[in-house]
Amino acid sequence: MTKRREPLTYQHTLTKIAGLIGWDRAGAVCGVTDRQVRNWSDPDCETEIRLIDAERLDRAFIEMGGDHAPFHRLFALRLEIAARSDADCLIALAGDIAKEGGEAVAAVLQLGATSDPDAHRRAQKEVQEAIDKLTDCAAKLKGSTP
């Protein structure tokens, strides 16, 4: 049976990377065995990935066609979550997410009909506002973990 790796954890992120590049390649990139990489991804194992190896794996992920740096994204998001741990109640946040997400989608769709620089700036602004509300919600969920 597959072990559960909770979202927003190093173990989950490492498993995502290995899903693209393979456990053996992940080990080779870090100069360790694939077994060691699997241990880093095991939430019940006491050993954890080193920062330099996370960076190496981010680079390998991108080189193999990944569209972002998974550990970098995780680090940034976890710091954002920590900074927002006093976010509003979930019901209010859900409404804000729906509003900001809808505005972001509408602004991005509008870009298809125009090449106006102001529309591009508006879309960036709306997308960032949606990301901020989603991050607030992730912080609230993290803080309310049973």
**Domain span holding position 37:** 10-76
The answer on 100 and 69 residing in a single domain is no
The answer on 61 and 112 residing in a single domain is no
- Which of these three, 76, 94, 118, is where a domain ends? 76
Of 145, 9, 127, the residue nearest 90 (C-alpha): 145
The answer on 102 and 72 residing in a single domain is no
Per the CB < 8 A criterion, the answer to whether 49 and 13 are in contact is no
In this structure, which long-range contacts are made by residues 11-14, counting pairs with CB atoms below 8 Å and at least 24 apart in sequence? Answer: 11/40, 11/41, 11/42, 11/43, 13/70, 13/71, 13/74, 14/40, 14/41, 14/49, 14/57
The answer on 16 and 69 residing in a single domain is yes
Is 33 domain-assigned?
yes
Q: What is the pTM of this model?
A: 0.69
Give me the helix-helix angle, 70-83 and 10-21, nearest 10°. Answer: 160
Q: What's the structural domain count of the chain?
A: 2
Which parts of the chain sit beneath pLDDT 50? none
Is 55 domain-assigned?
yes
Is 114 domain-assigned?
yes
Is 5 domain-assigned?
no
Q: What is the pLDDT of residue 144?
A: 65
Is 3 domain-assigned?
no
Q: What is the pLDDT of residue 13?
A: 97
